[in-house]
A and B are shown apart, each in its own frame.
Chain A
Amino acid sequence: MGSPLETAANPERLRRVAIDPLSRVEGHGKVSILLDDDDRVQQVRLHIVEFRGFEKFIQGRPYWEVPVMVQRLCGICPVSHHLAASKAMDIIVGARQLTETAEKLRRLMHYGQILQSHALHFFHLASPDLLFGFDSEVSRRNIVGVASAHPETAKRGILLRKFGQEVICATAGKRIHGTGSIPGGVNKSLTREERDFLIKDSAQMVAWSHAAVQMIKALHRQNAALYDSFASFRANSMSLVAEDGGLDLYHGQLRVRDADGKLLFDQVDTQDYAHLIAEAVKPWSYMKFPYLTSLGEERGWYRVGPLARVQNCDRIGTRLAEAERQEFIAYAGENGRSGPLHATLAYHWARMIEMLFAAETIDTLLADDALSGDQLTTSGQRATEGVGVIEAPRGTLIHHYRVDDNDLVSVANLIVSTTHNNQAMNSAVREVAKTHLDGRKLSEGLLNHIEVAIRAFDPCLSCATHALGQMPLEVSLNDGAGRQIDRLSRAPASMGQ
């Protein structure tokens, strides 16, 4: 599954194009492309400037502080880190089975996060490309462009996101820097009034999420030739699944399917993740490349996130989302195809199915009186090591800690979703370069194709890096001697951060 475009034979003789940094991708990422004299693509690499300082940030802190502290690793998905750390610390305090109230409150918080994150990505980051086309003028390819041309779509995106934030606020206790989830459970339940406040809007969120699935499904079907082939590549898929094989984004065991959809591993205990996967290092990238240990680095890499999850599971436990999953799977088998859909743009369709699943799950949970229960925590035999795994919006998120006799974290290891997808994103970029850039004169629209492919994964690097200031798109074309011979740029906003 390796790519011949990873390393060119004679890089010193080739021209270099760099897309640095990427717009609408959190954190720092850069794509470098080497072209020969005939503009044929010889090498493509996605470089992600991963900052590994978070382990150091956590080490030495009392274990009970960690679920709160790790939210500051990422301004985009703090709840995912909050819950993954809590799950790891559950093991430390011996709480292998939470109370019903605690488990349901955490699930509610998590699905609130999934809803708001998926809404932001689809309506804010992805829909401008999908609605206007990859080559449309730059000024339209953003949320305000969508708002002008499709006001109702933009408004729904904002209100879906707002609702997800309100679910998080109610369960985590605060709008940001929540403290709701603690080792062994939660520190508050929901009052009837808090539930009623959310219930009044939850059915509407289900309806809008359902409409969003119809929208992306229609876009995909209307332009099936492009959507099915753009940045498509074969890969293994990894995700959590429930004990019965159902989709579960909060808790489960690990499942891996190969590129043909056959089960490679199933019900792997998350505490044993380190036996399942290893991380390779490549000299040209700061970010590691995880792979399945038993298959090796070349064949063992995989994709995570919505496209993997929706096709890895056997069913979805909510009515509307399950119907949509079945239609998605049927589509994957149309026109003589077999096995999973490997189209990168199908991430969007799968993501909206998950958003619908999240909205339905929230709607169901809010009616459950267990959310207002008073049995909030539990504990058991202390352990010195714990692993917490959760399906964050972008994919599998692993938190692994060791705690010493003084209750301080001595070892921390985090594998974030974007790291799992490192090789997959590189493969997507290479497919685009090969198909759309090879032999053609570069333009801003063509280079946006590269970003469209990366954006489909919704990579979030802010847990690895911090974006100082706005991130303009700058592309430079250099000759073999490193001299700049062409340049494209997009102006930044007026103030930095």
Chain B
Amino acid sequence: MTEPSLVFAWGNPSRGDDALGPLFIERLEALAAAHPQWQRYEALTDFQLQIEHALDLRGRQRILFVDASMACTAPFAVSSLVRERDTSFSSHSLSPQALLQVYRDLDGDEPPPAQLLAIRGERFELGEDLSAAARTHLDAALAWTAAWLAAP
């Protein structure tokens, strides 16, 4: 059965603060048992967003994308997403806006409401641990998400 809420985080666990995405999912799953009031959700993670992830959006009522960001202010920023014919189409990964557009083009329906939770990161080198600042930002982002999951 498809869970009504999807939390989808991405990043590389071995590249410093890029691990914020997968660590977010790990921490969220660990917290879930202690929060029976949360709405039903599914948590997914990957290295980056790809076209086939449009299939994971099917049947959802709401979506929360989570990623490390060097662009947002600390500790995190939340924004609503609108599907977009993304002109950046950079490399092998899609932006969440472009993924929503792929969903629209694939199924012909409007994608579910989606938000991006961008968690501020500082360093992204291979083999580095999560920075101290990112750990703090992660805690704050999880607290916000707990409220998001508890909301109907």
Contact = CB atoms under 8 A, between A and B. Distances in A.
The 4 closest A-B pairs by CB, nearest first: A75-B47, A147-B105, A142-B89, A496-B71
Interface residues of A, number: 59
Interface string B79-94: 1000011111111111
Given A54-B126, A158-B51, A72 B15 contact: yes
A144 B91 contact: no
B7 interface: no
Given A27-B91, A495-B95, A148 B105 contact: yes
B121 to A, nearest CB: 9
Contact of A495 (B44, B54, B71, B127): B71
Given A158-B51, A165-B52, A466-B12, A138 B125 contact: no
28 contacts: A24-B90, A26-B92, A53-B125, A72-B14, A75-B12, A139-B87, A142-B86, A142-B87, A143-B51, A144-B101, A148-B105, A151-B106, A154-B102, A158-B51, A161-B50, A161-B52, A162-B55, A165-B52, A175-B44, A462-B92, A466-B126, A467-B90, A470-B88, A493-B84, A493-B90, A496-B71, A497-B68, A497-B69
Contact of B91 (A24, A145, A496): A24
B18 A495 contact: no
Interface string A18-45: 0000011111000000000000000000
B97 interface: yes
B85 A139 contact: yes
Interface of A: 23-27, 51, 53-54, 56-57, 69, 72-73, 75-76, 78, 116, 120, 123-125, 138-139, 141-145, 147-148, 151, 154-155, 157-159, 161-162, 165, 175-177, 460, 462, 466-472, 490-497
Interface of B: 11-15, 18, 44-48, 50-52, 54-55, 67-72, 79, 84-98, 101-102, 105-106, 116, 118, 124-127
A30 B87 CA distance: 19
A470 B90 contact: yes
Contacts of B91: 23-27, 462, 467, 471
Contacts of A125: 92
B126 A161 contact: no
Dominant secondary structure at the B interface: loop
A496 B47 CA distance: 15
Most chain A CB within 10 A, of B50, B91, B93, B118, is at B91
B124 A151 contact: no
B48 A75 contact: yes
A185 to B, nearest CB: 25
A383 B40 CA distance: 51
Contact of B90 (A23, A56, A154, A466): A23
Contacts of B84: 493-494
A493 B52 contact: no
Contacts of B14: 57, 69, 72
A54 to B, nearest CB: 7
A75 to B, nearest CB: 3
Given A76-B92, A460-B92, A469-B71, A162 B86 contact: no
B19 to A, nearest CB: 10
B46 A493 contact: no
A54 B13 CA distance: 14
Contact of A471 (B51, B90, B127): B90
